[in-house]
Structures are given as C-alpha cells and as structure tokens.
Amino acid sequence: MENHGELRRIAITLLAFSGIGLLAQTMPVNIGPTPPPRVNPDLSVTYFLNAPNAKEVLLGDTVFSPSPPGIPLTKGTDGVWSVTTPPYELGTHYYGFLVDGVTTGDVGGTARTERLPRGYFLFEQLDVRGPEPLYTDIRKVPHGTVHIETFSAAGLHREVRCFVYTPPGFVAGERLPVVYLLHGTVDFESSWSVTGYAERIADNLIADGQARRMILAMPDTGTLNRENPPTTVVEPYLISEVIPLVEGKYLGGDPAAERYLVGLSAGAVQTRYAGLRNPSLFAGLGIFSGGGLALGQVLEELFPMLRQPELYRHMTPIYVAVGNEDTAAPNVRRLSESLDRLGIANRLSVTSGDHTWFNWRRYLAEFLKGI
C-alpha cells in the first residue's frame, strides 16, 4: 500500500509539472514590464502590452465590441503591442485585453489602482483628466457613511445585503429623500458603490451645493448565480421588504417618505416595471440603458395605469438615458416617445458611448442634481 501511495504521489507530481509545461507553451510570455497607457495631449490614449509570443491582441476600452471584439493592437519589433484610440471624454474609463482569445487585464505587471472585480470583462482603470477634479474623485469634502444591512429576504429565499449611504452628519430619523439604486445583470449589491462610485458622487454634489442631502439604498436584486429574478418577484421584494427595512431604520418609518427608484440595464427593466405600476410610491424614476420598448409594443398595454397621466404628475420628469452606441438605444428612445405621447413628463438624455459604467455614473450624477 505504501508503494502504491508513493507511485500515486509521483504520478501526480509528473502530471502537475507536465501541465505547467503545457501551460507555459500556450500562454504569452512577457519580457520586462509593460509601459502604462499614455494619455496624449488630444485626450487620445495609447495602450501597450508586452506579449511577444501572442498571435493577436485586441483592446476592449468600453466593452469588447464590435464583432470580432476589440480594437486590434499592432506588434512592434520589440514584442510590445500598441494602439492609439480616438480622443476620450474626461472621466474614469476601464480597459482590458483579449490575448489570443483570452480576456485578461494588464498582464505586464503595470500597477493600476481600483481594478474592476474579476467578474467583469474589463479589468483596469484609467483616468483621463483635465484641469478640474473629476466628479468621481475622493475629494477633501465631508464624507458620508456606507452601511451594510443583512437580512433574510422571503422574496428571494436567501440572505441578502443592502448597501445604504447616509450623508455627512446624518442623524437617524432626519427627513431626507431616499434613492433606491438597482444594479444590472452579473452585478452585486455593492456594484453601485464599488464600481459606480455612488457615495463619491453624492458627497461631491452635496459639498458643491448641486444636490440635496439624501440617502442612497443599494439592494441586492439578483439570484445566487447573478441572474435576474422575474420583475414580478423583484417588485414585491422591493416594496414589502427593502423599503420598509431602509426607511424603518433610517427614517423612523416615515409614511410620507420622498423616494426615488433608479436602475441600470436589467435594473432599468425592474425600475420601469415597479415604478410605472406604483406611481404613488415614488417621486421620480431613473431608467438607464434599459427598460425600453421593443418595436411593436404598446406601452399603455403593458402598463394600463399610464392611461391616467394625472397619477404621475407629482413625479419629477422620468429621467431616461442611454448611450448612442448602446444596442438598447432604439428601445429606450421608443420608451421616451411613448411617454411623451401619453402626456407623462420625461427627460431623454442620449449621450456618447455604450453600455458602460462611464455612462451610468454620469447619469446618476445628473439624476441626483434634478431631484
């Protein structure tokens, strides 16, 4: 038995070393550090990747698109690949590489700050700056607090968390508006905070006098596998579990609370559903990069209450926003046009860009300024 055990250990060792050798043969080998991205005077960006053995390197600087995905890099004689993009807008951008079909971050060892979680396609951060601070910077202003509430959600059949931002100097029971932020597919309850910089945006806007003091509530609205429960599940979960928990603890259960509902992508679908079906509960809605109207659909057939526009007149104009390169753009435009036709006040913002956090951050800032 001892001999069999020893043979087994030897076999496992040989397999391990064999696997390492095969992996080394198939992975790109990087010689020396990769130069960091260079922001040029015209705000274009030159990216580099030191991967001399790679056959193809593509850049993803918003999402990996168009098809085939990514922007091709050119290989130099020194084995360093590079490409220069068109000028960027000021702000925080993310990027990653597709190396011989494998998505990866900056494999050359360049140190980046605040990397995206590995669950995302793009991994690295790049700030494109002008003379003024970015609205997403951590500035020397009074900062609020992000609390984490954990509770057993009957509607989702599991333990969930909800991130809650309270502004600087908050006192429990203070009458403040509450903005509920719903995340997208594969996101987490932490996404609006960690990736969306929601509390930074709120801190800066409040400090600059551009937004009111407010509470931000960021609930988990996904499944354990990061999929989307049906809207018929999310709606009662929000109304009967999330809202009572947040407002009961932080507002003392104020029955006249001023609340807003905002969502991105899949969260925009949930916002459209719960918000348009329950106008008496919300003072305004933010629908970002989703929740649109497919060709041939009739909005008031989906939401019959819209035939009574007076039910929505207490709301701030519904803020509908999408990037012009987003595949959701046609449907989102149709949503706004249908609201116009029905006499429901709304504000359509079509920006540059795609289905990205760069856009969702700026949509959030604009929404918070308007409530």
For residue 318, being part of any structural domain is answered with yes
52/68 Cα distance (integer angstroms)? 22
Please tell me the predicted confidence (pLDDT) of residue 120.
57
Of 69, 102, 128, the residue at which a domain comes to its end is: 128
Q: What's the CATH number where 281 sits? A: 3.40.50.1820
233/240 Cα distance (integer angstroms)? 11
309/313 Cα distance (integer angstroms)? 7
Strand, helix or coil for residue 329? helix
Please tell me the predicted confidence (pLDDT) of residue 187.
87
180/246 Cα distance (integer angstroms)? 10
Domain count, the chain: 2
Same domain, 364 and 221: yes
For residue 358, being part of any structural domain is answered with yes
Same domain, 278 and 353: yes
Composition of the chain by helix, strand, coil, percent to 5: 30, 25, 45
For residue 4, being part of any structural domain is answered with no
For residue 29, being part of any structural domain is answered with no
Please tell me the predicted confidence (pLDDT) of residue 65.
47
Please tell me the predicted confidence (pLDDT) of residue 101.
82
* Cα dihedral 200, 123, 133, 369 sign: negative
Same domain, 79 and 187: no
Please tell me the predicted confidence (pLDDT) of residue 281.
97
For residue 31, being part of any structural domain is answered with no
Residuewise pLDDT in 10s, the chain (371 residues): 434 443 333 333 333 333 333 333 344 444 457 888 999 999 999 999 888 989 999 988 765 444 456 889 999 999 999 999 999 999 998 888 888 887 776 655 554 545 565 455 567 888 999 999 999 999 999 999 999 999 999 999 999 999 999 999 999 889 999 999 999 988 889 999 999 999 999 999 999 999 999 999 999 998 877 778 899 999 999 999 999 999 999 998 887 899 999 999 999 999 999 999 999 999 999 999 999 999 999 999 999 999 999 999 999 999 999 999 999 999 999 999 999 999 999 999 999 988 989 999 999 999 999 99
218/180 Cα distance (integer angstroms)? 6
Same domain, 361 and 230: yes
Interstrand relation of 178-182 and 215-219 (parallel, antiparallel or unpaired): parallel
For residue 17, being part of any structural domain is answered with no
CB-CB neighbours of 291 under 10 Å: 28
154/178 Cα distance (integer angstroms)? 23
Same domain, 308 and 365: yes
Q: What's the CATH number where 86 sits? A: 2.60.40.10
For residue 26, being part of any structural domain is answered with no
Please tell me the predicted confidence (pLDDT) of residue 116.
60
119's CB contacts (< 8 A; 6+ apart) are 186, 226
Same domain, 189 and 101: no
CB-based contact 31:52 (threshold 8 Å): yes
Please tell me the predicted confidence (pLDDT) of residue 27.
43
What pTM value is reported for the model? 0.86
For residue 259, being part of any structural domain is answered with yes
Same domain, 104 and 161: no
Same domain, 191 and 74: no
Same domain, 259 and 345: yes
Task: Tell me how far the alpha carbon of residue 165 is from its chain's centroid.
Answer: 17
Same domain, 225 and 80: no
CB-based contact 206:140 (threshold 8 Å): no
> Which of 319, 310, 367 is closest to 342 using CA atoms?
310
Same domain, 199 and 106: no
Range of the domain at 56: 38-128
Same domain, 109 and 173: no
